[in-house]
Amino acid sequence: MKMTQEAIPIMARNSNLVNVSSMMSLMTLQKLTEEKYHKVMFAKSLEDCDDFMNNFVMCAKDGKLGNDSWPATAYGMSKLGLTRATMVLAESLKSDPRSILLVSCCPGYVNTDMSSHKGPLTIEQGALTPVYCAHLRDMNLQGRFFSNQHVANWDKDSTEKLVPAKPKSQMVKKAVLASSQKHVYENKPPKPISDTCKAWLQSLEGARQTFSSEKQFQFDERRSRVICGENSMPKDMESVLYWMNRDQRVHDNWAFIKAQQLGFEFRVPLHVCFLVNPVYVVNTARHMKFLLKGLRLIETECKEHKIGFHLLVANASKKRTNEGEMVDSPAKNIVDLVKELKVGTLITDFNPLREDMKLMNEIKNKLNGSVPMVQVDAHNVVPAWIASDKMEVGARTLRPKIHKLIPEFLSEFPPLVQHNPPAKQTKEIDWQKVTKGIESSWDSSVEELLWCEPGYERGMQTFFEFIDNGLVDFNEKRNDPTQPSLSNISPWLRFGHISGQRCAFEAAKQRKVSKNKDGADSFIEESVVRRELADNFCFYAPEYDNIKGAAKWAQETLNLHKKDERSPSYSERQIIEAETGDDLWNAAQRQLKQVGKMHGFLRMYWAKKILEWTAAGPEEAIRIALYLNDRYSIDGFCPNGFTGVMWSICGVHDQGWGERPIFGKIRFMNYQGCQRKFNIPAFIECYPPKTK
């Protein structure tokens, strides 16, 4: 250590110092009593390090090692002192303008005289980690301890083990990406829809046509609930209006089917409207272009079915009347169209998020019972209000309720047919003008994605490729971010371009294929039970996006550890720019920004690390995690996103675990746990840092 101190004054700008320590430093640390452990970990100066090392020497001279004293290992204690002193000295270098990086490392168990030639590593292999550290240039790694070319967790709870290092050529192996999914990871446009997929889509349409007329099909009224007015059509009204919101599709849409049935029943035209709100929470080029291009396809399909389509754009103005009401509120746009079309019944779909529920209630109040308003859950297999009448504790309590009702609700859809009487031809929408009118309000720095093109056909193409290639491995490999086993359909589910029920229905058919049974069961668990659990949470928990939405035990434990020291801690800017000392986390953040999605397993690790690194505490960690997810993820700002962050940071739908700093009783995840599950270097190589 003294040599390191002597070297620092003569070090050049942007240079590195690597202290060669040992994994014995960690093993010795873990043997310390609570008192000795705190003495080591709270050493803030080299003098403090000298103190505990001198204390060890005195105890050794007095023959008082072991039991409640220091461990009886001179080598282990020397390496412990070196590693901790490196961390302390590195802390003082943070203010040095020369940007000197000081770290320590374990080279591994090498075949040398020191190991009596029993080490499994060659000298070349033993040099890999020290040389790797010598080439680091990330100042966020200041003071860290490395093993096997990655940051090792140097604390009492670490699960690091001394495992043989592999030559880099073997260790960093590219992830195995199926050709059908490679465009996702590289953010490239998808291939044209194959003839096989087209034939499959035609077979779906053929299955819908088994209902030869709308009268043959009986709509299950449990899928709907009356929001206001009577559940009947006033005699003097001239149309039915479907206010499309969450479920932006023509096919396999229960709200659309309900609206058309009412139109047929009362022999009136059917209209569809969509309200674009330029000041909505998620307002980036990535999300808005996906939205608008999808709506353009819906306009075409509505015209083909003789259904009117109306695009409403809410005014971004915040002018208010003397009574305080918005002059051009989004609710007013809908109500004005209801009056203009002399609507007899207003149908809408279901979204449990507060902004959508608030808008629905504003429309309800403006209608004041004059026009019936009916909400249809077109998003879930089992309607949210039927699945449960309360917030569920977790999947274990909702699962049996869902499975009991699945036979009643997981069914084929009837087709949407040409409507009669037809709606009057609406003026063709100038989409270029619409886009130009609102693009100034969105964040253009979050760019449009290439790999996911909007619309029903592209969404179903992606799902077809999954059941054709990925379903067989879904159960076994879905938690491995390097394996192409996920469905990747979340963008189309989030915008309602495809139906979750359709996907579950088709996956259920795959259970008959023996090799796909486990994959189909796991997919139904994720796409039905877990999705509906997320809707249940947001529907019944008003505080679904802050710490008050957590269980009492979770709030208590997080508040108890709110002021625990974060070391390291990172600013919001460092987190956004993926400039942390965790190479896996950085790669996951780059995946989110570049591809607009993050592997589900990594989302949990990603959010928990934000809690671990945010000095301001759990409330700020929740805010940052939701902000990043909603801003960059194409499936952001949805119940799945809110529930995922709340599970990770606040233990929602989880249980209490062993107490530890920062996390309290919230489930803990670390780098080593990920390392046991998948090939971290392979994932990082898919999303490498940009070269400066």
pLDDT at residue 295 is higher than 70: yes
pLDDT at residue 176 is higher than 60: no
| pLDDT confidence of residue 268 | 96
Quickly state the pLDDT bin for 217 (edges 50, 70, 90). Answer: confident
The answer to whether the beta carbons of residues 186 and 484 sit under 8 Å apart is no
Read off the pLDDT of residues 506-536 as tens digits, 9 standing for 90 and up: 999 998 776 789 999 999 999 999 999 999 9
pLDDT at residue 168 is higher than 80: no
| pLDDT confidence of residue 169 | 36
Domain with CATH 3.40.50.720 in the chain: 2-171
Percent of the chain's residues with pLDDT above 90: 75
**E-strand stretches of 362-423:** 373-376
- Tell whether the torsion through CA atoms of 463, 465, 467 and 470 is positive or negative: negative
207-381+415-440 is a CATH 3.20.20.190 domain = no
The residues, ordered by sequence, that sit 6+ positions from 552 with a Cβ below 8 Å of its Cβ are none
CATH topology of domain 2-171: Rossmann fold (3.40.50)
Quickly state the pLDDT bin for 328 (edges 50, 70, 90). Answer: low
Q: What superfamily does domain 547-686 belong to in CATH?
A: DNA Cyclobutane Dipyrimidine Photolyase, subunit A, domain 3 (1.10.579.10)
pLDDT at residue 324 is higher than 70: no
- The strand pairing partners of 226, in sequence order, are 374
- How far CA 687 is from CA of 219, 560, 585, 592, 649, in Å, comes to 47, 37, 11, 10, 25
Give the residue with greater pLDDT, 229 vs 360.
360
Percent of the chain's residues with pLDDT above 70: 92
Task: Compute the residue count for the chain.
Answer: 692
Query: Rounded distance, CA 100 to CA 90, Å?
Result: 9
Read off the pLDDT of residues 229-243 as tens digits, 9 standing for 90 and up: 876 677 778 999 999
**E-strand stretches of 224-305:** 224-228, 239-244, 270-276
| pLDDT confidence of residue 53 | 96
pLDDT at residue 608 is higher than 70: yes
Rounded mean pLDDT of the chain? Answer: 91
| pLDDT confidence of residue 186 | 79
Domain with CATH 1.10.579.10 in the chain: 547-686
Nearest to 77 by CA among 54, 43, 94: 54
Domain with CATH 3.40.50.620 in the chain: 207-381+415-440
Give the residue with greater pLDDT, 149 vs 609.
609
| pLDDT confidence of residue 349 | 98
| pLDDT confidence of residue 166 | 42
Give the residue with greater pLDDT, 158 vs 26.
26
